[in-house]
Amino acid sequence: MVQVLLVLILWNTFKNNAEKVRVLDNLSNGFIKNLEPFKSNPAFEFIEGDITNLQTCMDACQNIHYVLHQAALGSVPRSIAFPLHTHAANATGFLNMMVAARDAGVQRFVYASSSSVYGDQPDSPKVESRIGKALSPYAVSKYTNELYAGVFALNYGMKVIGLRYFNVFGPRQDPNGPYAAAIPLFMDALLNNKTAFINGNGEQTRDFTFVQNAVQANIRACFTDHPESFNKVYNVALGDSISVKNLFAMLAKIAGKEAQPSFREERPGDVKNSLADISLARTFLGYEPQVKLNEGLEITFNWFKSTFSK
């Protein structure tokens, strides 16, 4: 999902007549073909590199006014299997970018956090000021980002805004690989007559958020002039939740299929229920999700149908 966000952010950035847009990506979670539409734009610059290298981060931040930091190794199961890889990309890489942005005099640093930081916090909806015990290395790495952002704002006067994404989905998500997300896996199964698997009993709930809503939050965070908006973290979500089982039923209806999922053992580290209170983002960023769940699923399904259907 990282590069999906990046591509849409690029479209919106160019709409705002940016003089220079520099992308740093190691392509571990995306494809160079997604960036092809921008290569002819003279304002576009691409650096293939890794944020675990401080000098690469320094080079990327030179003469840049705004940083929108989306780079991460996602997936709770991957973080449990490979905690060192997750820490290197999500914690060390994030710190490298913060240092590089500080030294380059970046005016604003907007970064992607995650709803995973709520951990075992039982309240619903989730409010930014109350989090629980982390349930995975991924959650720890994202909360580490928030802690570093806070101390960089405190000690270096940086204007920093964090965005806690809730289950972002949309076109261009890859259904392949061991850590693919639920929605692209469901779509692939429905389009190609495969078995769709649900981890656990399917009663777990999620606040699924169409990618364009997350892009809106990034753009608003980048350009907000609200004097109290900085040095905070905000939920970025639809503000509504659905069970995974009902999500599959909704997708099956969109696909015109009567398919039933197969249930298997639940995954360790998964949060049981997730619903966001988005009032803070509304107040300080003017955020208002424009694309509802069913519309977002239809857009995404049509893209998958045109791209992956056999």
The catalytic residue positions are 138
Residue 215's alpha-carbon distances to 11, 220, 297, in angstroms, are: 10, 9, 17
Q: What is the pLDDT of residues 252-303, one digit of tens each?
A: 999 999 889 999 988 887 778 899 999 999 999 999 999 999 999 999 999 9
Residue 36 CA from chain centroid, whole number = 21
**pLDDT 10s per residue in the chain (310 long)?**
454 455 556 556 666 667 788 999 998 877 888 888 888 888 899 999 999 999 999 999 999 999 999 999 988 999 999 999 999 999 999 999 999 999 999 999 999 999 999 999 999 999 999 999 999 999 999 999 999 999 999 999 999 999 999 999 999 888 887 778 899 999 999 998 899 999 889 999 999 999 999 999 999 999 999 989 999 999 999 999 999 999 999 999 999 998 899 999 888 877 788 999 999 999 999 999 999 999 999 999 999 998 865 5
For residue 197, give both structure tokens.
């698997």
Q: Residue 101 is inside which H or E element, if any?
A: helix 93-104
The confidence score (pLDDT) of residue 10 equals: 59
The confidence score (pLDDT) of residue 33 equals: 84
Q: Which fold has domain 2-171+207-239+277-291?
A: Rossmann fold (3.40.50)
Distance CA 261, CA 40 (A): 44
The confidence score (pLDDT) of residue 6 equals: 56
Mean pLDDT score across all residues of the chain: 91
The confidence score (pLDDT) of residue 9 equals: 63
What are the φ and ψ backbone dihedral angles of 44, each rounded to 5 degrees?
A: -95, 135
The confidence score (pLDDT) of residue 282 equals: 97
The confidence score (pLDDT) of residue 14 equals: 61
The confidence score (pLDDT) of residue 38 equals: 84
3-state helix, strand, coil in the chain (%, to 5): 45, 15, 40
Looking at the whole model, is its pTM more than 0.75? yes
